[in-house]
A and B are shown apart, each in its own frame.
Chain A
Amino acid sequence: MKLKSDFIVQDIDDTQFLVPLGHEAFNGIVRSNKTAAFIVNCLKNDTTKDQIVDAMCLQYDAPRETIDADVEEILATLRGIGAIEE
């Protein structure tokens, strides 16, 4: 899966934003927290949920199950706004 090309990532200071480009289904701007920003950065290239979880486990000191649940939740949100192509 991958971030759709009509969702643009824009950084302002330390905050990451995800902006839809003339998207009909979603008319908003996503302000990512650090976890979501990490996941969005992973999604800039073709990846899988497991690869994202692996990358996060290397970065964050948290149980894999917790990270897995966080990734699942954020991916569901991104899918909900039509930002991911499978």
Chain B
Amino acid sequence: MKEIFSPDTFLFKVLPKAKPCTGVTYVPSRFAFSFECDGKQYVTSTLTKQCIEGVLPETVKAGEGFDSLIETYMLVPEGKDEVAFYESISSMMRLFSKKKRIGGFIILPTLHCNARCIYCYEEGRAQSKMTPETVEATLRYILDNCDKNGIKLNWFGGEPLLCPEIIDRISDGIREAGIPYRSNVVTNGSLITPEILEKMQGPWHTRNIQVSMDGAEPDYIARKRYYGDLDAYHAVMQNISRLSEAGITVALRVNVDEGNWSGIPQFLNDLKQWVDHKDRVHVYFSPLMAVRAGEGDIAFWKKVLAANPLIAEAGFKPVPYTEPVMKFRIHRCMADSGSVVIAPDGGLYPCEHCAAESCYGNIVSGTIDMAAREEYCRTDRTRAMCRECPMLPECTSFANCPWVDYHCRESHEMLAAEALRRIIRNQQDLTENPDEDDLIC
């Protein structure tokens, strides 16, 4: 069988190769995932990332020509508890990558927003803003606990740009302490004035901005429901243009469902007219949570994948839905990577969804229970529904994650297969269309 991608080298530096044993029956690993690309069959291991062209035998013994696949855990002894195997590897890799100090902070200066998005998951939550006391406590907490070699701040909300003075204060405090930092801002993009842009380029050390859009103008107006008479659609388009001109990379998240899908070509056309520096604007369609949690999720994902070429046709960079990860996935999200979310009231959470049951302390009161955070994000308790799933190593590895798609396995498989096809085709392109330099003898 032809190997397309080798197993993750770091994983196999650590993990010993399995030894083929006489008399043992080997079967395909539960993490072996088959897919088709341009008429050929492939199998990849979501655990080791090895990918081969061909089909695995249903059963095989050592010495029957498949020993190399036994060594890389593509074929495993019948009855092997592979979930326990995965959980042990995941726990070890996470321990290894765990830092003593915190490298990422997601700060919610406020839950207030100048829009009232119809799909907002924060709807119904108390609209609070950090008090001066909480701002100081946040700064103190960051300085006391951060990785002094450098940190990443993510400004989140609500709409964080409603409180530039809070971002100023915390950024100034970190800079005065001599700690290197960079920041990302997740915003609706409506409040990016020239003054804000200056701060982003200056004291805020902003590298990336994520702006959320809702399709063409009528859909945008109906869904964002801004307070006041703001011509937000065009203001945001102009701000995206301004950001890209200033050299800041913009990730444009276009929230979609059946209701605004037909307006997407118009939206891309408008964006194309407004933005000159298209290479700095990365666009992706993000099905709304209600779509992902509903029965029609797969059908909608298929539409989204099929529409992806429209982004490139409009001159923008499409963002892949699943990164072509060729390494063992140690972390899937901010919660399991050790980042800290600080809410406007000083509450600490493992992720930006701020589920009440995940709160593990408050920086103002000083009651912080790190053990509760560890317990919430434990990796060794795979959900019962995930134990049979070949996509487990690609998905969340802790059972308390509140996010579950309706057809999660199918959607994961579809997106993973799409990512793998992209890599295989790119490899073929590289082989079939070598650069001119490669032709020089």
Q: Contacts of A22 on B, CB cut-off 8 Å?
A: 98-101
Contact of B15 among A11, A12, A21 (CB under 8 A): A12
A15: Cβ under 8 A from any B Cβ: yes
A13: Cβ under 8 A from any B Cβ: yes
Residue of B nearest to A29 (CB): B14
Residue pair A19, B92 in contact (C-beta under 8 Å): yes
Cβ distance A63 to chain B, nearest Cβ, rounded Å: 28
Q: Contacts of B88 on A, CB cut-off 8 Å?
A: 10-13
Residue pair A8, B85 in contact (C-beta under 8 Å): no
Q: Contacts of B99 on A, CB cut-off 8 Å?
A: 22
Given A22-B100, A29-B14, also A17-B92 (CB < 8 A)? yes
B91: Cβ under 8 A from any A Cβ: yes
Q: Which of B81-139 contact A (CB under 8 A)?
A: 85, 88-89, 91-92, 95-96, 98-101
Query: Size band of the B side of the interface?
Result: 10 to 19
Q: Contacts of B98 on A, CB cut-off 8 Å?
A: 21-22
Q: Which of A6-34 contact B (CB under 8 A)?
A: 8, 10-13, 15, 17, 19-22, 29, 31
Cβ distance A25 to chain B, nearest Cβ, rounded Å: 12
Q: Contacts of A21 on B, CB cut-off 8 Å?
A: 95, 98, 100
Alpha-carbon gap, A21 to B91, bound state (A)? 12
Residue pair A8, B16 in contact (C-beta under 8 Å): no
* Contacts from B to A (Cβ < 8 Å): 14-16, 85, 88-89, 91-92, 95-96, 98-101
Residue pair A31, B14 in contact (C-beta under 8 Å): yes
Residue pair A13, B100 in contact (C-beta under 8 Å): no
Residue pair B14, A17 in contact (C-beta under 8 Å): yes
Residue of B nearest to A10 (CB): B92
Given A22-B98, A22-B100, also A15-B16 (CB < 8 A)? yes
Alpha-carbon gap, A41 to B89, bound state (A)? 19
Residue pair A12, B92 in contact (C-beta under 8 Å): yes
Alpha-carbon gap, A76 to B131, bound state (A)? 54
Residue pair B85, A29 in contact (C-beta under 8 Å): no
Cβ distance B378 to chain A, nearest Cβ, rounded Å: 14
Alpha-carbon gap, A50 to B233, bound state (A)? 76
Q: Contacts of B91 on A, CB cut-off 8 Å?
A: 10
Alpha-carbon gap, A46 to B89, bound state (A)? 28
Alpha-carbon gap, A22 to B95, bound state (A)? 8
Chain B proximity mask over A24-65: 1 for CB below 8 Å, otherwise 0: 000001010000000000000000000000000000000000
Alpha-carbon gap, A17 to B14, bound state (A)? 9
Further pairs besides A12-B15, A22-B101: 6, Cβ < 8 Å: A8-B95, A12-B85, A12-B88, A15-B16, A22-B98, A22-B100
> Please, could you name 27 A-B residue pairs with CB atoms under 8 Å apart, sorted by A?
A8-B95, A10-B91, A10-B92, A10-B95, A11-B88, A12-B15, A12-B85, A12-B88, A12-B89, A12-B92, A13-B85, A13-B88, A15-B15, A17-B14, A17-B92, A19-B92, A19-B96, A21-B98, A21-B100, A22-B98, A22-B99, A22-B100, A22-B101, A29-B14, A29-B96, A31-B14, A31-B16
